[in-house]
Amino acid sequence: MNTKNIAWSADIGCEGGPVIVANLADFSRWYGSEPYDASQATELHHWSPFAAELPEIWRPAGPTGHQYLASANPSAARAALMSVVLELWPGATIDRSEATWRAIRPDGRILNAALAPDSEYDRAIRSLGEEALHGFQGDAMGYLWSAAPGMVRISVDDQRDFLVLSQVEFANDEADALGAHRHALEADWRSAAPGQRYRVTAGPVVAAWSPNSIRDLSAPISAADATPSLPGQLLDMATGASGALLWLQPGMYESALHYHAEASWGVAWCRLQRVGE
């Protein structure tokens, strides 16, 4: 792929967490890290440096680490856990002033307890590896690609049949960074094992830092803003230029994940390539 065949390329800011790629119709129902109502929680999530000292029923993940307990009433389960802490450590105090409650033992050690998931974003990243498909709000679907904090470059070819998300992990200078992004565009996408499959239904697609919500947009967008004859459009969301609206040919897309490094640069990228109707 000659980089001269790239129709549009721009960088979006990601402050940690994956990039979501979704049909505009689906992204219009994506609320990112907006807090859920407590009634939507299905688990009690707690973590502390003294999990091993709690009764075994309260630590399904073992004696250390974050604990997730499925419950029909996570609020009641959290209150019960606070009672356990007060019983085991007389003199402990409970801070209920924020969404995450804190049980503070007399020795100063703290147990944090929250209702989970606390947002659609939280639900999406629970078991996320490098990539995943994520269903939400009924029949809506998005593709997630894990990215490090920093800038992610979005590039679309002039045939509008592939999308590349690339992130330079290190570079000696700007010329090296450009070379790294160029390598991501020109490398043989078939050299990596096929990954997830995502269907572009109508053409307009949003690629954004996934904690963003559709309600974070600084100005409304519509399908008319993304057509085959228009370049992509950067979107100001929770942070400036942290999303993009673009047009891809409708059809089935397949992901391929890559990494390559030279002495002076390294780049990770995801290519979504149209592979059929």
CA dihedral 116, 122, 123, 127 (to 10 degrees): -110
pLDDT band at residue 3 using 50, 70 and 90 as cut-offs = low
Low-confidence winner among 5-9, 49-53, 213-217 (lowest mean pLDDT): 5-9
Low-confidence winner among 2-11, 198-207, 234-243 (lowest mean pLDDT): 2-11
Helices (H), 51-92: 74-88
Give the per-residue pLDDT at 1. 52
Contacts of 72 (CB under 8 A, 6+ apart): none
Please list the residues that pair with 254 across neighbouring strands: 197, 273
Give the per-residue pLDDT at 192. 85
Q: Where in the chain are the domains?
A: 3-33+126-276, 38-118
Q: What is the mean pLDDT of residues 25-29?
A: 98
Residue type, 37: D
Residue that wins the pLDDT comparison between 107 and 4: 107
Q: Model confidence over 159-216: pLDDT tens digits?
A: 999 999 999 999 999 999 999 999 999 998 888 889 999 999 999 999 999 999 999 9
Nearest Cα neighbor of 49 from 36, 63, 39 is: 63
Give the per-residue pLDDT at 2. 55
Q: What is the mean pLDDT of residues 124-132?
A: 93
